[in-house]
Amino acid sequence: MNPKRTNQIATGLIYVLVAIVVLILAGLLGYILVNGVPNISWHFLTSGAEAFSAGGGIRDQLFNSLYLLVLTLIISLPIALGAGIYLSEYAADNWVTNVIRTMIEVLSSLPSVVVGLFGYLLFVIKFGFGFSILAGAIALTFFNLPLLTRNIEESLHNVSNLQREAGLSLGLSNWKTISGIVLPAALPGIITGVILCSGRVFGEAAALIYTAGQSAPTVNYLNFNPLSATSFLNPMRPAETLAVHIWKLNTEGITPDAHLISSGASAVLIIVILMFNLGARAFGNLVYLKMTAVK
């Protein structure tokens, strides 16, 4: 066959496959948004859920999701940053490093329900945390850590060795070169990875069913004392997240408008995740342009 003709067929086939993927994604997002957006209102976003009557909202579930996300990043980001710096800048290319990377890959491939059961047995039962935001955040740390570590490692790898050599030639120590030159240069990629991981954590449900719980107790949003049982900042209280709320509505919801609430909550979840993904790209490009302008 003519090589030019073969190239045209292969290119056309690739375009067709890409178009199929785009159409599937557009159809899925379109269906969720078309059915859910009409149910979103200010009352829906700012009112509490109802167990039996119609007209409930998702205020507490939305806040729980955001609070759990922040707490997860507080726990996982320093660990992932240290691991990524070690693997990229300090670790030798030997069997120990290969074992560490293999363990990271294995951890990233674990189903979220397995991570949830592990968190339930260890943190909820063994350590006595009970169903709590803290138990859910630690479980999500195991779920989020491999992806975040790989992202930080790759971002550091993408920094040119010329910048490392320039720092060392000026008499800077290895750590000073990493912290003062390499890490700032890799910051756009790291920030993008953190935001993308945030979107993944925000939409997680299976791991949280067994750790953060399936109930959203009434809390006092004016009580800023995290040690108070009624405070919205108390990390030891149960916290039903938005994704868990959607699952619960579709499995055992008994409110008359459970389907409408589920559709609206699904649309909110999709919109927030899209904002995370689009925001990651825009923010990463903005930071990169600012750093380029400074240079």
The string of pLDDT tens digits covering residues 82-112 is 989 998 888 888 888 888 888 888 888 888 8
Q: How confident is the model at residue 1 (pLDDT cuts 50, 70, 90)?
A: low
DSSP state of 181: I
Instruction: Indicate the pTM of the whole model.
Output: 0.87
Give the pLDDT confidence score for residue 294 in this predicted structure. 56
Cα separation of 284 and 217, whole Å?
37
* Superfamily in which the 42-294 domain is placed by CATH: MetI-like (1.10.3720.10)
In this prediction, residues 210-238 reach a mean pLDDT of: 86
Question: 3-state DSSP helix/strand/coil percent for the chain, to nearest 5?
Answer: 75, 0, 25
Domain residue ranges of the chain, discontinuous segments joined by +: 1-39, 42-294
Residue 30 has pLDDT above 80, yes or no: yes
In this prediction, residues 252-279 reach a mean pLDDT of: 87
Give the residue among 111, 74, 67 at the shortest CA–CA distance from 205.
111
